[in-house]
Structure 1
Amino acid sequence: MKAVLCHTFTGPGDLRLGEIAEPRPAADEILVDVHAASVSFMDQLLVSGLYQMRPPTPFVPGTEASGVVVAVGDKVTRFAPGDRVACSSWIGGYAERMTAKESKSVRLPDGVAFEAGATVLHNYGTAYYALVDRARAERGETVFITGAAGGVGLAAVDLGRHLGLRVVAGIGSDDKAALVRDYGASEIINYRREDLRHRIKTITGGDGIDVGFDNVGGAIFEQMARLMAWDGRLMPIGFTGGEIPQIPMNLPLLKNYSVIGVFAGAWAEKFSAEAARMNDTLMRMLAEGQIRPHIDRILPLEEAAEAMRAVANRTVQGRIVLKIR
């Protein structure tokens, strides 16, 4: 079968399209005819050797996809051949067929396109786990979201709006402002050209941020650590800026705020039943129009490397989707 292969951890430029043997599902897995796969920042990090795990090479990148079940393992009870599904895995999505654990797969509602279905579990799953489970954000609270036009960031803006939060969106270029405003941001800060401290203090009347949702890391996170409200929750989600930040621990002490780690993928592995329920919730929300994933563009599988380069260069708003069938 056709698949994109990573032979060395040297980045998107060395990905190659090739033929590999069809995978076989383990007892707790399903085998999926992949129709669409989304391209994430994590995928780009993984093929560049910059993620915290390194699969044995060669491997097929792709953390999230959607398609039709063609076979199931002996212990699978929730799915049968012919079911439309969305699924996630650490690798395997950029191929004509992939395997995924039953616990990390969810039925795709009728009427939901494969392209949209391939963009929910990672983006909205991370946002939901962070805002609902970890931060326990309450209606009316102020959330500041960095990298707000990216896949996870835009999902957090969209979900924050749905939860009744006051969403402040942090972006790195003005051309992203219209999109984040359309998705529910009440205030927008371009932290590349504006004084973040001054804007946050002005927006919050000096009270600070109730919930900090940071995708960027580095100096942005360090500034956020000084802008939290009393009893706030500051969440490191990722470090797309390339620098893991450090903060003086007297900062959370002085305002009794919490620094809460968010690694949704590890949580889904450890608490698979809870993650499966969350996925069911997200698909219901998608079917009812409560959330609306944004697709920047749709490309053929052959252009996976171009898609990853666009993600790395931060020219993507929402998600790029690879159309495979």
Structure 2
Amino acid sequence: MKAMLCSSFTGPQDLHIREIADPKPADDEILIDVHAASVSFMDQLLVSGLYQMRPPLPFVPGTEASGVVVAIGDKVTKFAPGDRVACSTWIGGYAERMIAKQSKSVRLPDGVAFEAAATVLHNYGTAYYALVERARAQPGETVLITGAAGGVGLAAVDLSRHLGLRLIAGVGSDDKAALVCSYGASDVINYRSEDIRDRIKSITSGHGIDIGFDTIGGAILEQMARLMSWGGRLMPIGFASGAIPSIPMNLPLLKNYAIIGVFAGAWAERFSTEAARMNDTLMQLLADGNIRPHIDRILPLEEAADAMRAVANRTVQGRIVLKIR
């Protein structure tokens, strides 16, 4: 089969299309004819050797995909050949065929396109786990989402609208404002050109934010730590800036707010039944039109390296999808 192969942790420029053997599903896995795979920031980190885990070389990147089941392992009970599915994984999506755990796969409702389905489980799964499971967000609460036009950020914007939250979107350039507003943001802050503290105090009349959803890290999260309301929840989701912040612990003490870590992938590994239930919920939200993933562009597999570079350069709004078949 044709696959995009990473043979060294030197970045997207060293990815190459190769013919490799079809993978074989283990007892708890399914084999999928891949139709679409989405390109995530995590994919770019993995091939660059910058993620907290390193797969054995060589490997096929791709953390999320969709397609049709062609074979199942001996202990698989939820799926059969011919089922349309989406799956999340650590690696493997940038290929004509991939394997995925039964527990990390979900059947697609009728009418859901492969391209849209390939963008849901990671982005919206992270957002759902953070907002619903970790923050226990309540309608009317104020949430600040940074990196709001990116894949995970825009999913959090979309889901926050669905949950009835008052939504403030943080972006790094003015050209991203229209998109986040179209997804439900009531206010937009450009943290490269505006003072976050002044804007948040003005927008919230000094109350602060109930929920902080941060994908940037560094100085942005350090500023958010000073803007929390009493009893708020500050959630580090990722560190796209490359800088891990330090927060004075007197800040959460003084306002009784919580700092809550969010690592959805690790949670899904430990609590596969609950994660599978969440995936079913997300696909139903998609089928019913309650969430609407934004696809920046659709590219052929051969352009995966260009897609990763665009993600790394933060020129992508939503997700890029690779059309495999």
TM-score band (shorter)? over 0.9
Say which SS state the counterpart of residue 18 (structure 2) adopts.
strand
CA positional deviation for 1:110: 1.1
**Aligned residue runs from structure 1 range 1-325, under 5 A:** 1-325=1-325
In structure 1, stretches of 5+ residues that fail to align are none
Q: Counterpart amino acid of 1:29?
A: E
- The whole-number CA distance in structure 2 between the counterparts of 1:108 and 1:117 is 7
Q: Counterpart amino acid of 2:181?
A: R
Percentage of identical aligned residues: 83
- The whole-number CA distance in structure 2 between the counterparts of 1:158 and 1:5 is 33
- The whole-number CA distance in structure 2 between the counterparts of 1:252 and 1:238 is 20
Say which SS state the counterpart of residue 280 (structure 2) adopts.
helix
CA positional deviation for 1:139: 0.3
- The whole-number CA distance in structure 1 between the counterparts of 2:193 and 2:217 is 17
CA positional deviation for 1:272: 0.1
Say which SS state the counterpart of residue 239 (structure 2) adopts.
coil
- The whole-number CA distance in structure 2 between the counterparts of 1:51 and 1:241 is 13
- The whole-number CA distance in structure 1 between the counterparts of 2:113 and 2:286 is 11
**Deviations 1:151-206 (Å, cap 9, x if unpaired)?**
00000000000000001000000000000000010000000000100000001110
CA positional deviation for 1:26: 0.4
Say which SS state the counterpart of residue 44 (structure 2) adopts.
helix
- The whole-number CA distance in structure 1 between the counterparts of 2:262 and 2:126 is 8
- How many residues were matched structurally? 325
**Deviations 1:114-156 (Å, cap 9, x if unpaired)?**
0000000000000000000000000000000000000000000
Say which SS state the counterpart of residue 267 (structure 1) adopts.
helix
Say which SS state the counterpart of residue 277 (structure 1) adopts.
helix
- The whole-number CA distance in structure 2 between the counterparts of 1:294 and 1:206 is 33
Say which SS state the counterpart of residue 302 (structure 1) adopts.
helix
CA positional deviation for 1:285: 0.3
- The whole-number CA distance in structure 1 between the counterparts of 2:88 and 2:141 is 31
Q: Counterpart amino acid of 1:30?
A: I
Say which SS state the counterpart of residue 277 (structure 2) adopts.
helix
Say which SS state the counterpart of residue 49 (structure 2) adopts.
coil
In structure 2, stretches of 5+ residues that fail to align are none
- The whole-number CA distance in structure 1 between the counterparts of 2:289 and 2:2 is 34
Say which SS state the counterpart of residue 106 (structure 1) adopts.
strand
Q: Counterpart amino acid of 1:38?
A: S
Q: Counterpart amino acid of 1:66?
A: S
Say which SS state the counterpart of residue 223 (structure 2) adopts.
helix
CA positional deviation for 1:109: 1.1
CA positional deviation for 1:221: 0.2
- The whole-number CA distance in structure 2 between the counterparts of 1:184 and 1:126 is 19
Say which SS state the counterpart of residue 222 (structure 1) adopts.
helix
- The whole-number CA distance in structure 2 between the counterparts of 1:252 and 1:27 is 46
Say which SS state the counterpart of residue 254 (structure 2) adopts.
helix
In the TM superposition, structure 1's runs of 4+ consecutive aligned residues that sit over 6 Å from their partners are none
Say which SS state the counterpart of residue 177 (structure 1) adopts.
helix
Say which SS state the counterpart of residue 226 (structure 1) adopts.
coil
- The whole-number CA distance in structure 1 between the counterparts of 2:64 and 2:233 is 28
Say which SS state the counterpart of residue 4 (structure 2) adopts.
strand
Say which SS state the counterpart of residue 230 (structure 2) adopts.
strand
TM-score (norm 1): 1.00
CA positional deviation for 1:311: 0.1
- The whole-number CA distance in structure 2 between the counterparts of 1:243 and 1:100 is 32
